[in-house]
Amino acid sequence: MDSASWQNLISEISNYVWGVPTIVLLVGTGLYLTFRLRGLQFTKLWHSLWLALIKRKEDTDQPGDITHFQALMTALSATVGTGNIAGVATAIAAGGPGALFWMWITGLVGMATKYSEALLAVHFREKDKFGNMSGGPMYYISKGLGWKWLGTLFAIFAAVATFGIGNTVQSNSVAQALQSTFNVPTWITAIVLMLATGAVIIGGIKSIGKVTGFLVPIMIVFYMGGALLILLINIDQLIPAIVLILEKAFTPTAAAGGFLGSTVMLTIRMGVARGVFSNESGLGSSPIAAAAAQTKHPVTQALVSMTQTFIDTIVVCSLTGLVIVISGHWTSDVNGAALTSIAFTSGLGSKIGEYIVSIGLVLFAYSTLLGWSYYGEKSLEYLSSEKIIKPYRYLFTIFVGIGAISKLDLVWGIADIFNGLMAFPNLIGLLALSPIIVAETKKYFSKDEL
């Protein structure tokens, strides 16, 4: 088979893996957990945000490797990425403004999923021989259900996805952004990115937690600041944009300019698919970071973790989407990160908008490298032993450089497939272990451990 044939085959498999059944299963699990938890993501939202962002008294005397905040920032580093810039644009370019509404719905129900993943991760975590915490879907599936084969399957999918969606794809995005905006040669980006990544991940989760705890808030505020400035400049168009989003969520969007039009089903599909891709609720990646948190009760970290989906989708994705809709450029034939860049540039009336998007993309992608490096490490440790940790960290760093200077058409597709495959064993674990999630939640709040 030639490269074109391989590309078509991988694309077909990816479309199947990320097809309607998968999306229904992801959102359906979120709805089921929302029902079982009595809408906890709504009733406890402000308390969870207080725990995550305002309360600074950490449970440093409790078991764990990093603080609540560092665990949240590590998970956010892996989810706030290209999906928040390019993914939102892709959804709106294909499904129209209404796709943003369905991203919101995905985020809201996904908060219950994220809460449940984190709770189980802490509940079933264990110490490795170095005294570090290990947890995540592979552990709560094998220990909670006794299905070691299914836990192993998840770890394999996660390990493969790490070198794609969590590594080469991200470094390639950084290299392309710096080359197109600032004319930086890709080989220079490769060297700098390898050094910057290796310097952090060699120190393990404590080093990653410290760096993401510092970097992630800065990068999110930087990007949000640019988007909020555009919305303030165009404040008179904000309400009409929101009305348009709500209207087109339930009615077809007619063709306009380079926009080919969309049915309601396409709008829903694009919004939900890109929403899940962005916040990763149900995929099982972020609970690996949650398991490392210093906490006295699984529910405490679960509450903190569910704010990750809120920040990623309800806040960051919303700002990107509103800027794109207000700009009117969603009707052009531009797509992906280029659409977001044009929207920011027109919103600010200068090249500053392009710089904000490019720098944001670089920071988002780099932080994703750090977060996913830990996910891959724990997945391979589960499959092998602690001996693999150091060689893995060096290998991960080398692949960062390879990704920056390579063409990744096939890698993108393969990475997408394995990223989606992670959801199946994880969702089985969540649904089967939902009685434990409900019981732990009731026990926590009955004692008013707030």
Angle at 34 between CA 29 and CA 35, to 5 degrees: 100
Q: Residue 272's pLDDT band (boundaries 50, 70, 90)?
A: confident
pLDDT digits 0-9 by tens, 213-268 = 999 999 999 999 999 999 999 999 999 999 999 999 999 998 888 888 898 988 98
Asked if residue 308 has pLDDT above 80, the reply is yes
Residue of 376, 353, 389, 426 lying closest to 170 (CA atoms): 376
**How many C-alpha atoms does 134 have within 13 Å on its Cβ side?**
22
Residue 391 has pLDDT above 70, yes or no: yes
**Per-residue pLDDT at 425 exceeds 80:** yes
- State the pLDDT at residue 312: 94
What is the rounded distance in angstroms from the CA atom of residue 385 to the CA atom of residue 401? 26
Average of per-residue pLDDT values in the chain:
91
Q: What is the mean pLDDT of residues 281-304?
A: 93
Considering the domain 3-446 in this protein, what is its CATH number?
1.20.1740
- Locate the domains of the chain by residue range: 3-446
d(CA 364, CA 79): 9
Please give the backbone phi and psi of residue 361, each rounded to the nearest 5 degrees, phi first.
-60, -40
pLDDT tens-digit series, residues 154-172: 999 999 999 988 999 899 8
In sequence order, the 6+-apart residues with CB closer than 8 A to the CB of 178 are 184, 189, 358, 362
The pLDDT assigned to 56 comes to 54
Q: So what's the pLDDT on residue 46?
A: 94
Task: Flag whether pLDDT at 348 surpasses 80.
Answer: yes
Range with the poorest average pLDDT among 14-28, 33-47, 115-129: 14-28
pLDDT at 58: 59
Please name every residue paired with 12 in a beta bridge, in sequence order, or none if there are none.
Answer: none
| pLDDT(61) > 70 | no
Residue type, 79: T
Residue 286 pLDDT > 80:
yes
Instruction: Give the model's confidence band at 60: pLDDT under 50 very low, under 70 low, under 90 confident, else very high.
Output: low
- Examine the pLDDT at 194 and tell me if it is beyond 90: yes
| Predicted confidence band of residue 152 (pLDDT cuts 50, 70, 90) | very high
Task: Look up residue 356 and give its two tokens.
Answer: 């904000």
Residue 245: the pLDDT is 97
- What average pLDDT does the segment 420-442 reach? 96
Tokens 């996913």 sit on residue = 372
Answer yes or no: are the C-beta atoms of 230 and 357 closer than 8 Å.
Answer: no
The HSE-up count of residue 99 (CA atoms within 13 Å, CB side) is: 31
Of the CA atoms within 13 Å of residue 200, those in its CB half-sphere come to 25
- CA 12, CA 8: separation in Å to the nearest integer? 6
What is the average per-residue pLDDT within 198-219?
Answer: 94
Mean pLDDT, range 331-344, rounded to an integer: 90
Each residue of 74-106: pLDDT tens digit? 999 888 887 788 889 999 999 999 999 999 999
Q: What is the pLDDT of residues 128-151, one digit of tens each?
A: 888 889 999 999 999 999 999 999
pLDDT beyond 60 at 449: no
Average of per-residue pLDDT across 314-343: 93
CA distance 78 to 201: 14
